[in-house]
Chain A
Amino acid sequence: MLDWLPPNVSTYGGEIDKFFYVIYYITAVVFFLVAGAMILFLIKYRHREGRRATYTHGNATLEIVWTVATFVAMLILALVSKPLWGRIKQQVPMTQNMVTIQVTAKQFNWEILYPGPDGEFDTPADSAAGTLDDYQIDNDMHVPVNTVVRLMLKSKDVIHSIFVPQMRLKQDMVPGHTITAWFNAEKDYILRFSLGLEFQEALDNASISDDFLLQFSSIGLVQHFKNMEELQKEKTPILSSNAVVSIQEAGNSWILNDESLKRKYIVKKENGALNVYSNLYEIPCAELCGFGHSGMLGHLYVHTPEEYEAWKIQTWPPATAAPADSSNLETPQQ
């Protein structure tokens, strides 16, 4: 069971996981004690002819002991849970380089809104504050690593719930409310899968050049996703077999870029295996929101600081966008 939590990449996620494991060990011990006692009693006190059960109505001392013990244990668990809950849900850390993003949920998309170069979410057109340079994209969220990301959560129709499993982030989004949530990604690229088994032999063979491996790994990557697509009935192609993949070599690793699908993978040769890293995290909706609830899915990209700056320059409208031209709101300028 311990292996089943998705990898954690957020600062507070590790603390949540720690609580999870503490409760896991406590409940596991209690369960095995209770189940063990029960099985023992069932065997030891099974019916036999001529035996007579012990006539007792209970034991006050024993009952007081287990009542008080449970009470104290539960109270302690509640009290130690409180500070972490407060840090996650009540106190958004305020830092200089904090990134603020407004997420508006609607059936069945996430509207991700950045304040644009002026750093202000656009106020009504007649207001003096800010310019109309907000940048909105559907379903894609880009954030820098090691930075507090503050989310202003809204909904246009029904209740949705933003869920990023690897960030241990979940918060319902309620129409009529603006709810603040936050996370801070500790890691950008994490290991997704390994091509070790298929490539073990090739890697062990010294006569095969790195060039060949490079080719091989990109073919392997494509094959991996093709298998997955088959599983997914080609609903959400991740890297189509005919995708144009550009490959960069960087030391002992290669960067695979699929421009059309905006996916980037880092492939590293480690311990005799080819490990594939990615900075892409899914954002499912966790609250039933209608017939399209399943598949309401966004993507979170956790960038290195340089990548994030590059992404901003590449996609955000320039700081001096004309306020009158509202089309700037929707279309990113290249």
Chain B
Amino acid sequence: MSEVTATKPHDAHAHQSFISTYIFSLDHKMIAKQFLILGLLMLLLGGGLALLIRWQLAYPEKPLPLLGASKQFVETGDPDTTSSWDRTWAEWLSREEKDQNWLARNVPQGVITPAFYNSVFTMHATIMIFFVVMPILVGCFGNFLIPLMIGTRDMAFPTLNMLSFWMAFVSGIVMLAGFFVPGGHAAAGWTSYTPLSADPQWSGVDWGQNLWCISLIILGISSLMGSINYITTIINMRAPGMTLFRMPLAVWSLFIVAILLLLALPVLTAALSMLLFDRMAGTHFFNPAGGGEPLLWQHLFWFFGHPEVYILILPGMGLASEIMPVFARKPIFGYNAMVWAMVAIAFLGWIVWGHHMFQSGMSPALGTTFMVSTMLIAVPSAIKTFNWLGTLWGGNIRFTVPMLHTLAFVSMFVIGGLSGIYMASTPVDIFIHDTYYIVAHIHYVVFGGSIFGMFAGITYWFPKMFGRMMSAKLGKIHFWLTFIAFNCTFFPMHILGVGGHMRRIYNPLQYEFLKDFQGMNEFISISAFVLGFTQLLFVFNVIYSLKRGKVAEDNPWQANTLEWTAHYPIPHGNFAALPAVYRGPYEYSSPEVEEDWLPQTKKLATAPASGNGHH
């Protein structure tokens, strides 16, 4: 639309140093890759923490494999003298300053301590939400797709964009540093309910929680920079002919997510600042002894936190809506309804936060109000599901790896959405609140939804990002193992929850009523180990395909959207000449042309612009 960046692709960018190309790059595509690498590395860490959780739940207080001391040492306290590893443990644990040794402090003899366990699940969630799903779905795909899909040369504010990544990087370093401070990392859950998180005397955690707050405040700044960029770019810099309702749904989802980020993150920043003041400056925002109100934290946190859940899932919805028509060779069913459903979710997302607080001691009358709004937010989600089904109906479906992940996204999101109805109903929530039912639900939404969306996106756009195809064979093995292991891991958690199994407990065997579930806990853990190690296959596929993958054509999937008209390696500035857009993004199998796709940029001799989504 506007001509903010009028430079030609190669102007003034011909000779760039290593640092300005790969490190402090201003190019949205490079920044996207940086977010991708950050997210994937953090995915390995967050996944590793999940495996620690699962080890402890399946084999409570048993020494970790490889790291742990012998069974004899753990059970009797006498090291097996023939084992050098036992001697090492014995030596570490006999030292005066054994707390200085990280392993001896957190996993003495290889057994996870209760305090470390709390840190582990706190950081698993924190890392997965803030450093995996957000950097990849919002940071990577937002950066890569928005300028390419709306047909512009870069983000509106490239320097801000670069700073956005580096702020996220600094935030990640600060977050990781928390593992190594005395007192251990934050251990009050990713929701960090006060007063447990507000005063070191209750948790024993000192700088870990402070760094957690500081890191997320920095990440908030990063997100703010990103969202301002996304919104400005989408509003001002669309190519000629790219009206709002010709935008791909991926761009729509990222646009709406950027608005949510812009409005939600400052609330978190405010709450975190108050928490930090309580911890470090002696204020009493959340401390009842000083006249504070612990529930205030929950209101602030969930006022951010519920939109945050949609920040995690909306890009997945956008990517699924983008990829499904390509491989069904059909226009998306109900484009307008898809857009308005996302807008509705974005609005309703602000008035449902209280459903996290039904049992919190908040007025039960408010609970009823939040139940009604929560039930209503199921409507736009249902619309989207039905529209995806409608897209599959009558298609000519190609089961490529990105399509498989997209189909997994839809079906897993259905389970995650339906299981949400249980806790939306206030009376039923009394029983399942704070049980593994909630854990199952969130993982069907965030793993089944966001992570499958992420895999779909990476495998789909990999050719445009890196110029090579990912191995489809490895991709399919990875998909099926992930899909099966995912369901074996998370579906039984519903049953645990219905049995009353509390979340965030260190040892389920401490409870008589949970003893029958131990076999199931073990099954879940074994599935989780399979799920975890399967992801190494994905990492291998990425690395292998970067080097050895088949060189990709410009438009390997015969897709319509603008990014496929750019030629790899896409120069800084993207397009030789800004593309002109003649129609909506999903004109597949259009009767106007012989082939079954009709790119947005293709000018037809006769017919006027068709199929912009209005019907």
- Chain A residues in contact with chain B, CB under 8 A? 1, 4-6, 15-16, 19-20, 23-24, 26-27, 30-31, 34-35, 37-38, 41-42, 45-48, 51-60, 62-63, 66-67, 70-71, 74-75, 77-79, 81-82, 84-86, 88-90, 107, 157-159, 161, 163, 165-166, 168-177, 179, 228, 231-233, 235-236, 238, 282, 284-295, 297
B596 touches A52 (CB 8 A): yes
A42 touches B188 (CB 8 A): no
Residue in A26, A30, A57, A88 whose CB lies within 8 Å of B333: A57
Residue in A19, A163, A171, A238 whose CB lies within 8 Å of B502: A163
A-B contact pairs, 10 of them (CB 8 A): A30-B418, A47-B396, A57-B333, A78-B372, A170-B433, A175-B288, A284-B505, A288-B118, A290-B203, A294-B505
A288 touches B188 (CB 8 A): yes
B428 touches A20 (CB 8 A): yes
Q: Which B residues are CB-close (under 8 A) to A85?
A: 364, 367-368, 371, 426-427
Interface residues of B in 201-230 (CB under 8 A from A): 202-204
B202 touches A158 (CB 8 A): yes
Using known A-B contacts A15-B427, A47-B397, A66-B382, determine if residue A27 contacts B418 with beta carbons closer than 8 Å.
yes
Interface residues of B in 488-515 (CB under 8 A from A): 494-495, 498-500, 502, 504-507, 509-513, 515
B334 touches A53 (CB 8 A): no
What is the CA–CA distance of A163 and B505 in the complex, to the nearest angstrom?
13
B361 touches A179 (CB 8 A): yes
B368 touches A82 (CB 8 A): yes
A291 touches B115 (CB 8 A): yes
B379 touches A56 (CB 8 A): no
**19 additional A-B residue pairs with CB within 8 Å, beyond A57-B615, A74-B378:** A1-B498, A23-B428, A34-B385, A34-B414, A41-B392, A45-B392, A46-B399, A56-B333, A57-B331, A78-B371, A85-B368, A86-B364, A171-B359, A231-B509, A233-B60, A233-B61, A236-B510, A282-B513, A284-B502
> Whole-angstrom distance from the CB of B484 to the nearest CB of chain A?
16
Question: Which of B99-107, B452-460, B585-593, B599-607 touches A?
Answer: B585-593
> Contact string, B18-49, partner A, CB cutoff 8 A, digits 1/0?
00000000000000000000000000000000
Using known A-B contacts A38-B392, A90-B364, determine if residue A169 contacts B430 with beta carbons closer than 8 Å.
yes
What is the CA–CA distance of A84 and B394 in the complex, to the nearest angstrom?
45
A77 touches B611 (CB 8 A): no
A27 touches B331 (CB 8 A): no
B511 touches A46 (CB 8 A): no
Interface residues of B in 364-381 (CB under 8 A from A): 364-365, 367-368, 371-372, 374-376, 378-379
Q: Which A residues are CB-close (under 8 A) to B288?
A: 174-177
Q: Which A residues are CB-close (under 8 A) to B415?
A: 31
Q: Which B residues are CB-close (under 8 A) to A173?
A: 361
A174 touches B295 (CB 8 A): yes
B361 touches A67 (CB 8 A): no
B395 touches A53 (CB 8 A): yes
What is the CA–CA distance of A122 and B329 in the complex, to the nearest angstrom?
75
B427 touches A16 (CB 8 A): yes
Task: State whether the Cβ of B536 lies closer than 8 Å to any Cβ in chain A.
Answer: no
Write the chain B residue with the least CB distance to A165: B500
Q: Which B residues are CB-close (under 8 A) to A42?
A: 392, 397, 407
Q: Which A residues are CB-close (under 8 A) to B386?
A: 63, 66
Q: Which B residues are CB-close (under 8 A) to A52?
A: 329, 396, 589, 596
Task: State whether the Cβ of B293 lies closer than 8 Å to any Cβ in chain A.
Answer: yes
> Contact string, B396-423, partner A, CB cutoff 8 A, digits 1/0?
1111000000010011001100110110
Task: State whether the Cβ of B294 lies closer than 8 Å to any Cβ in chain A.
Answer: yes
What is the CA–CA distance of A19 and B430 in the complex, to the nearest angstrom?
12
A5 touches B498 (CB 8 A): yes
Question: Which of B152-160, B189-197, B561-569 touches A?
Answer: B189-197
B434 touches A161 (CB 8 A): yes
Residue in A26, A74, A171, A290 whose CB lies within 8 Å of B202: A290
A77 touches B510 (CB 8 A): no
B515 touches A231 (CB 8 A): yes
A88 touches B430 (CB 8 A): yes
Q: Which B residues are CB-close (under 8 A) to A78?
A: 371-372, 374-376, 424-425
> Whole-angstrom distance from the CB of A252 to the nearest CB of chain B?
26
Interface residues of B in 89-104 (CB under 8 A from A): none
A77 touches B375 (CB 8 A): yes
What is the CA–CA distance of A85 and B494 in the complex, to the nearest angstrom?
22
> Whole-angstrom distance from the CB of B395 to the nearest CB of chain A?
5
By the criterion of a CB under 8 Å from any partner CB, how many residues of chain B are at the interface?
A: 105
Using known A-B contacts A81-B427, A84-B427, A170-B433, determine if residue A58 contacts B335 with beta carbons closer than 8 Å.
yes
What is the CA–CA distance of A47 and B511 in the complex, to the nearest angstrom?
53
Interface residues of B in 141-197 (CB under 8 A from A): 187-189, 193-196
Write the chain A residue with the least CB distance to B295: A174
Q: Which A residues are CB-close (under 8 A) to B430?
A: 16, 88-89, 168-170
B376 touches A71 (CB 8 A): yes
A63 touches B337 (CB 8 A): yes
> Whole-angstrom distance from the CB of A162 to the nearest CB of chain B?
10
Using known A-B contacts A66-B382, A85-B367, determine if residue A20 contacts B392 with beta carbons closer than 8 Å.
no
> Whole-angstrom distance from the CB of B111 to the nearest CB of chain A?
12
What is the CA–CA distance of A284 and B511 in the complex, to the nearest angstrom?
8
Residue in B330, B428, B510 whose CB lies within 8 Å of A297: B510
Residue in A45, A158, A294 whose CB lies within 8 Å of B506: A294
Q: Which B residues are CB-close (under 8 A) to A228?
A: 512, 515
Q: Which B residues are CB-close (under 8 A) to A16?
A: 427-428, 430-431
Write the chain A residue with the least CB distance to B495: A4
Q: Which B residues are CB-close (under 8 A) to A74?
A: 375-376, 378-379, 421
Q: Which A residues are CB-close (under 8 A) to B364?
A: 85-86, 89-90
Write the chain A residue with the least CB distance to B427: A84
Task: State whether the Cβ of B558 lies closer than 8 Å to any Cβ in chain A.
Answer: no
Task: State whether the Cβ of B236 lies closer than 8 Å to any Cβ in chain A.
Answer: no
What is the CA–CA distance of A297 and B293 in the complex, to the nearest angstrom?
26
Residue in B395, B431, B504 whose CB lies within 8 Å of A41: B395
Q: Which A residues are CB-close (under 8 A) to B295?
A: 174, 177
Residue in A6, A55, A165, A286 whose CB lies within 8 Å of B590: A55
Write the chain A residue with the least CB distance to B187: A291
Query: What 9 A-B pairs are tightest by C-beta distance, nearest first?
Result: A176-B288, A54-B394, A294-B506, A165-B500, A58-B334, A89-B364, A74-B375, A294-B505, A85-B426
What is the CA–CA distance of A179 and B426 in the complex, to the nearest angstrom?
17
What is the CA–CA distance of A310 and B231 in the complex, to the nearest angstrom?
71
Q: Which B residues are CB-close (under 8 A) to A5?
A: 431, 498-499
A6 touches B398 (CB 8 A): no
What is the CA–CA distance of A184 and B333 in the complex, to the nearest angstrom?
52
Task: State whether the Cβ of B283 lies closer than 8 Å to any Cβ in chain A.
Answer: no
What is the CA–CA distance of A47 and B387 in the complex, to the nearest angstrom?
20
> Whole-angstrom distance from the CB of A279 to the nearest CB of chain B?
13
What is the CA–CA distance of A163 and B203 in the complex, to the nearest angstrom?
22
> Whole-angstrom distance from the CB of B300 to the nearest CB of chain A?
15
What is the CA–CA distance of A75 and B377 in the complex, to the nearest angstrom?
11
Write the chain B residue with the least CB distance to A238: B512
What is the CA–CA distance of A128 and B512 in the complex, to the nearest angstrom?
44
Task: State whether the Cβ of B573 lies closer than 8 Å to any Cβ in chain A.
Answer: no
> Whole-angstrom distance from the CB of B213 to the nearest CB of chain A?
17
Write the chain A residue with the least CB distance to B329: A53
What is the CA–CA distance of A228 and B512 in the complex, to the nearest angstrom?
9
Q: Which B residues are CB-close (under 8 A) to A89?
A: 364, 367, 426, 430
Q: Which B residues are CB-close (under 8 A) to A232?
A: 509-510, 515
Task: State whether the Cβ of B328 lies closer than 8 Å to any Cβ in chain A.
Answer: yes
> Whole-angstrom distance from the CB of B521 to the nearest CB of chain A?
12
Q: Which B residues are CB-close (under 8 A) to A293?
A: 114, 118, 504-506
Using known A-B contacts A19-B428, A38-B410, A175-B195, determine if residue A297 contacts B396 with beta carbons closer than 8 Å.
no
Q: Which A residues are CB-close (under 8 A) to B84?
A: none
> Whole-angstrom distance from the CB of A40 to the nearest CB of chain B?
9
A161 touches B431 (CB 8 A): no
B361 touches A53 (CB 8 A): no
A165 touches B390 (CB 8 A): no
What is the CA–CA distance of A157 and B203 in the complex, to the nearest angstrom?
11
Residue in A20, A63, A286 whose CB lies within 8 Å of B383: A63
Q: Which B residues are CB-close (under 8 A) to A63?
A: 334, 337, 383, 386-387
